[in-house]
Amino acid sequence: MSRAVVIDDSKAIRMILKKTLTDLGYEVAQAGNGREALDLFQQDSGGFSLALVDWNMPEMSGLEFVKRLRSEPRFSSVVLMMVTTETQVEQMVAALDAGANEYVMKPFTREIIEDKLRLLGLLA
């Protein structure tokens, strides 16, 4: 079973994304900010293949998380999808430049998440 992490300071958003990913066959862990997520990645030996990352969070932003995770070669294969309220083109470019594989703007639908996962080759 593929494993994913949902990283968002909103518990409601985490629950929505967790349900979506669980329904798609993922085992899902959750983190309330980038620092918690980084700890999950450092401590987990089973390996996560996907992370859905919010931008605006306390302690460590999603953008900083993406940069930190991409700085470690052992996490290079993890697919990172920003799921955020940030709608400026500059932010999208910054996230993709930092190593995010895809970008979804809130509000989103389940179909949008599924379509992005298909584009990334994670769903048939």
| pLDDT tens string 21-49 | 999 999 999 999 999 999 999 998 679 99
H runs (alpha helix) in the chain: 11-23, 34-43, 62-70, 89-98, 110-119
Q: How far is CA 33 from the centre of its chain?
A: 11
Rounded CA separation 54/14 (Å):
10
Per-residue pLDDT, 46: 72
- Percent pLDDT > 70 in the chain is 99
Q: Residue 81: enclosing H or E segment and its boundaries?
A: strand 79-84
Q: What is the pLDDT of residues 62-91, one digit of tens each?
A: 999 999 999 999 999 999 999 999 999 999
DSSP string, 105-121: ESS--HHHHHHHHHHTT
At 101, give phi and psi (nearest 5°): -90, -25
Q: Which residue has the tokens 């990352």?
A: 53
CB 104 within 8 A of CB 96: no
Rounded CA separation 11/94 (Å):
25
**Is the pTM for the entire model greater than 0.85?**
yes
CATH class of the region 3-119: alpha beta
